[in-house]
Amino acid sequence: MAVPQKVAPWFFVWLVAGALGIAFAWSLDGRVDAALNVSQKPVLHSFADGSTKLGQGWVPALIGLVVILIFLLFRRPLAAARVFFIVLTCEITGLAAVIVRLFAGRTRPSSHMPQGFYGIWHDGHWIMGQFEFSAFPSGHVAMAAGLATAIWLMHRGWGAVAALFALAVAWSRVALQSHHFSDVTAAAVLAIPLAVILKKTLWPSVELHFMNWYRVALFTRGRPVEIPRAGLRNH
């Protein structure tokens, strides 16, 4: 996917700043990972486990589907299109993180192997996709950060609420010793600009096709509707 011209300058600034941020987080991994460990704190462990489960990809997909159907029932196709875009964005950002970690092969904090990046092959075996070597970056956090960014781009207030959710998911992944601090940092660095790029490239198409489909669906049911095109952009 080509980077839109208007996005390119800040995109490369973010790339450099993100790399520096990941390097800084890497230097703090040991201390932060130990400080956030909740394995001996039952209440916090339960909260972290719940946050992690909410950060699984099927959760926003299911909730989003229900919300989309509700908006369509109330004849609010633009709102439904926004939710569709938000859900699609979070799934894409989560998938992007999964693809990256397939090739990184970084050990999780709980791994019995010496900590490091092992790539796709180690000790005569393929390790691509193995849980023990799937720490960098966090798919849960990439999905949550993509979700929060997409919502923020559509509505600042709800975006702030979604950001709290993303922070809770990020904290939970480190607290449960599933990821290092730098893993969740890298996930956010990956997901945020990707969501912004998708807003520039994917949203106009989603909006157009969703609204046209809705107009045709109503017309074929004998309920023609005029959906104004003016003002649909730049929401």
CATH number for position 156: 1.20.144
Q: Is the residue at 205 inside a domain?
A: yes
Q: Is the residue at 195 inside a domain?
A: yes
Say what the pLDDT of residue 224 is.
47
Q: Is the residue at 226 inside a domain?
A: no
The model's pTM is: 0.86
Say what the pLDDT of residue 123 is.
85
What's the number of domains the chain is made of? Answer: 1
Q: Is the residue at 2 inside a domain?
A: no
Q: Is the residue at 157 inside a domain?
A: yes
Domain carrying residue 130: 8-220
Say what the pLDDT of residue 202 is.
93
Give DSSP secondary structure letters for the chain. -PPPTTTHHHHHHHHHHHHHHHHHHHHHHHHHHHHH--TT-HHHHHHHHHHHHHTSTHHHHHHHHHHHHHHHHTT-HHHHHHHHHHHHHHHHHHHHHHHHHHHH-BPPTT-SSPSSB-TTEETTEE-TT-GGG--SS-HHHHHHHHHHHHHHHH-HHHHHHHHHHHHHHHHHHHHTTSS-HHHHHHHHHHHHHHHHHHHHHTHHHHHHHHHHHHHHHHHHTT-------TT-S--
Say what the pLDDT of residue 231 is.
40
Q: Is the residue at 198 inside a domain?
A: yes
Q: Is the residue at 125 inside a domain?
A: yes
Q: Residues of the chain whose pLDDT is less than 50?
A: 1-3, 224-235
Say what the pLDDT of residue 230 is.
40
Say what the pLDDT of residue 226 is.
44
Q: Is the residue at 234 inside a domain?
A: no
